[in-house]
A and B are shown apart, each in its own frame.
Chain A
Amino acid sequence: MTKFALSPEREKHVEEILARYPNPKAACIPVLHVCQEQNGWISEEVMQFVADRLSLSTAHVKGVVTFYTLFNKEPVGKHQVWVCRTLSCALRGSDEILHHCENRLGISPGQTTKDGKVTLRTAECLASCGTAPMMQVDKDYYENLTTAEVDRILDRLVK
């Protein structure tokens, strides 16, 4: 089993995070984010690493990882596309946006394209109700979407 370790820059980032809190346990979620940024997902080794680094039990870390939607429990594509489908977005056509993404990518929500480039997901409200329909691609929001705009975005991703 390969042992997980953070790059020196990310290790420095962890030190900065730890300095913000009165105890290391509070750094659990931010440190998991840093690890996921490097590894793409939270593997058993990553959980072990975080537990050791913050003096927590692996059971605690596992409990945290499985509770939150944004921690990937398995490897994901290079890009992640989240289509919001909660009510405000649904009223403005998010179903059409989602179906369009499914057809274009040939996958269902939760799946990754064969070339490993894109993982498609549905989101429950991304606080963008006034600019619906919308989707999040990696760290960016795309709002007031049309299917033509979705095509342009996906073209860039699968290139």
Chain B
Amino acid sequence: MLRQTTYLTKRYGVPEGWTLPVYERDGGYQQAKRALSMERQALVDEMKAANIRGRGGAGFPMGVKWSFMPWPPKPEKPHYLVINADEGEPGTFKDRTIMELDPHAVVEGCIVGCYGIGAHAAYIYVRDELHLSKARLWGAIKEAKAKGYLGAKPFGIDYPVEVYVHTGAGAYICGEETSLLNSLEGSRGEPRLKPPFPAQAGAFGLPTTVNNLETIAAVPTIMALGGDNFSKLSDLHDQKDGGCRLYGVSGHVNKPGIYEACVGLTLRELIYDLGGGVKGGELLAVIPGGSSCPLLRPDELVDAPDPKSPLHRWHGKNVLDVPMGVETYRALGTMLGTCCAIVMNDKTDIVLAMHNLMRFYRHESCGQCTPCREGSAWIYRILERMAANEATLEELDRLHEIASNIMGNTICAFGEGTAMPALGFLKKFRKEFEAHIRTKGKSSTGRLAL
């Protein structure tokens, strides 16, 4: 249900909203101060009660993640908090708005997070391209430090906390948590085998929690509302998917942008109510949460006769009317991802859309695992031929094979991130792909842009 909120975006558009005086006027840093005087367990319980699922795409419950950290920390094995603000997923642009418009919420979240996991240092990993984001974060850190909210004794409490911004150098794969850690340690951003998980051996080989930037920025709000109240903002509270979050919409809509609403918003509301409707035609398809999520068609209906299915309540309804949640979207055969949808109208050439995305995946494969490195390049080469009207139906089948052989055969989820959307395109637009090949491109609109 569409219920817009302003917990995370209160200072968006406020003059100098990123500065400390504005943040403090709204009660800023009171929650960090309170957290540092709480029992650690009570703090983690509060986060668990909030049912906040990681906003980076995987949707893991944040409170549970914090509770995985070895306790109590050993003095010779310090803990680290690492914030993932790499944000390179095509279609996703929500974290950038937080860093630019509300960086103090991130810093305050880091203080609480450090205490919750027993760390004394937080590294915010930002992609290097985001110069304004980096400047705003450093500015917030400097302001907080000058006020004594960070440093040796935050708020006069004997729990040192430092926050740093660390930058990458242009590699989408660094948004994957273990390759982000390798990049933070000064190496190539190649993913690591898991286990060990970061909670055992993360940054610098020490226990580490990696949280998405939006997740950590929501922490002061969770503290202020109380975990349970925060969770109940959501329509999917009973599916342990709580709170409010940022939604993005881009592509063929009249009002692209970032909107805040309670969890449970539907795609239809995101596209038509918040995004102002489809621009230049009717809806052809939508990629729900960043390009790794298989796309949805507006004519699909929910098939969930089993009462145990998280989708049963919406059985027989249109997929666009299902609340956007981690479990509901998994059950739909796609993913919620980052909740940033890419909308395509019916003038869009689906072959060119897939070609565009597969070029991205070929470019960004780190090259470590053969199925992903070779597979992504092979898929792209076939789509190059298809776009040039030279591909055969046999090659269309080969795309299936290649994508299926990437699945499950790589160290990290990038392989699936390539194969799943590829298979989604092929499955849901099989007819259009076949027609494109048969007619040598005459059936296509030949364009992506309006």
B173, chain A: closest CB distance, angstroms: 9
Interface string of A57-71 (1 = CB under 8 A from B): 000100110011111
What 1/0 flags go to B137-168 for Cβ under 8 Å of A?
A: 00000000000000000000000001010111
- Residue from the list B185, B190, B342 in contact with A25, Cβ < 8 A: B185
Complex Cα gap A26–B344 (Å) = 42
Contact with B along A131-154 (1 / 0, CB 8 A): 110001001110000000000000
The answer for the CA separation of A95 and B359 in the assembled complex, in Å, is: 14
Residue from the list B170, B257, B448 in contact with A91, Cβ < 8 A: B448
Selected contact of B256 from candidates A20, A69, A93, A131, CB within 8 Å: A131
Cβ-defined contact, B131 with A127, below 8 A: no
The answer to whether B171 and A29 have CB atoms under 8 Å apart is no
Instruction: Say whether B186 contacts A26, CB under 8 Å.
Output: yes
State whether A125 touches B170 (Cβ < 8 A).
Answer: no
Give A30 to B190 CA distance when docked, in angstroms.
Answer: 18
CA distance A87 to B353 in the complex (A): 7
Q: How far is the CB of A20 from chain B (nearest CB, A)?
A: 5
Contact residues of A between 101 and 138, Cβ < 8 Å to B: 123-132, 136
Specify which chain B residues have a CB less than 8 angstroms from the CB of A27 in the assembled complex. 186
Report the bound CA distance from A85 to B359 in whole Å.
10
Residue of A87, A92, A95, A125 with most partner-chain B CB within 10 A? A87
Q: With A and B bound together, what is the CA distance between A127 and B171 in angstroms?
A: 13
Asked if A124 and B172 sit within 8 Å, CB to CB, the answer is: yes
| Pairwise interchain contact B164-A20, C-beta atoms closer than 8 A | yes
Interface code B356-397, partner A: CB below 8 Å = 1, 0 otherwise? 110110011010000000000000000000000000000000
Expressed in whole angstroms, the minimum distance between the Cβ of A122 and any Cβ of chain B is 9
The one of B129, B291, B343 in contact with A70, judged by C-beta atoms closer than 8 angstroms, is B129
CA distance A22 to B185 in the complex (A): 10
Q: How far is the CB of A149 from chain B (nearest CB, A)?
A: 16
Interface string of A10-32 (1 = CB under 8 A from B): 00000000001011011111101
Q: In chain A, what residue has the closest Cβ to B129?
A: A126
Chain B residues with CB under 8 Å of A52's CB are none
Contact between A30 and B88, CB atoms less than 8 A apart = no
Smallest CB-CB separation from A96: which chain B residue?
Answer: B449
Cα-based distance from A23 to B206 in the complex (angstroms):
13
Expressed in whole angstroms, the minimum distance between the Cβ of A74 and any Cβ of chain B is: 16
**In the complex, A54 Cα to B92 Cα: how many Å?**
35
Complex alpha-carbon distance, A61 and B186, angstroms: 9
State which of B244-252, B304-312, B407-415 sits at the interface with chain A: B244-252
Query: Which single member of B340, B353, B363 contacts A129 (CB below 8 Å)?
Result: B340
Given contacts A30-B166, A87-B353, A87-B357, contact A92 B251 (CB under 8 A): yes
Which residues in B have their C-beta under 8 angstroms from that of A82?
Answer: 129
Report chain B residues within 8 Å CB of A94: 449
A71 and B93 contacting across the interface, CB-CB below 8 Å: no
If the complex has contacts A91-B449, A130-B248, are A70 and B90 also in contact, measured as CB distance less than 8 A?
no
Give every chain A residue within 8 A of B162 (Cβ-Cβ): 20
Min Cβ gap A62→B in Å is 10
**Chain A residues with CB below 8 A from B251, complex form:** 87-88, 91-92, 129
A88 CA to B360 CA, complexed, in Å: 12
Q: Does B53 contact A (CB under 8 A)?
A: no
Q: Which of A20, A25, A91, A141 is the one whose CB lies under 8 Å from B252?
A: A91
A100 CB to nearest B CB, Å? 13
Bound Cα distance from A30 to B340, whole angstroms: 30
Residue A48 CB within 8 A of the other chain:
no
| B215 contacts the other chain (CB 8 A) | no
Assess whether B116 is interfacial by the CB under 8 Å rule.
Answer: no
Inter-chain CA distance A82–B252, complex, in Å, is 22
Asked if B184 and A88 sit within 8 Å, CB to CB, the answer is no
Q: Given A23-B204, A28-B186, A60-B187, do A87 and B90 touch, yes or no (CB 8 Å)?
A: yes
**Interface pair A29/B183, CB less than 8 Å apart:** yes
CA distance A69 to B249 in the complex (A): 27
Q: Does A33 contact B (CB under 8 A)?
A: yes
Q: Is B127 an interface residue (CB 8 A)?
A: yes
Residue B332 CB within 8 A of the other chain: no
Contact call A130/B249, Cβ cutoff below 8 A: yes
> 0/1 per residue, B90-115, Cβ < 8 Å to A?
11110110000000000000000000
Bound-complex Cα distance A32 to B309 (A): 51
The answer to whether A6 has its CB under 8 Å from any CB of chain B is: no
Q: B323 contacts the other chain (Cβ, under 8 Å)?
A: no
| B14 on interface, CB distance cutoff 8 Å | no
A123 closest partner in B (C-beta):
B129
B356 touches A124 (CB 8 A): no
Cβ contact of A130, chosen from B127, B131, B256, B366, cutoff 8 A: B256
Contacting pair B186 A29 (CB below 8 A): yes
- Tell whether A76 is near chain B: CB-to-CB under 8 Å: no
Binding site for A on B (CB under 8 A): 78, 87-93, 95-96, 127-132, 162, 164, 166-172, 183-190, 204, 248-252, 256-258, 287, 291, 340, 342-344, 348, 353, 356-357, 359-360, 363-364, 366, 448-450
| A-B CB proximity, top 9 nearest | A28-B186, A69-B170, A68-B169, A70-B170, A129-B250, A88-B250, A67-B188, A25-B186, A139-B131
Selected A-B contacts with CB under 8 Å, 6 pairs: A71-B170, A91-B344, A91-B449, A125-B89, A129-B256, A130-B256
Sample of 12 further A-B pairs with CB below 8 A, known A91-B251, A125-B360? A28-B187, A32-B169, A86-B357, A86-B360, A91-B348, A92-B252, A96-B449, A125-B90, A127-B87, A127-B96, A129-B91, A129-B256
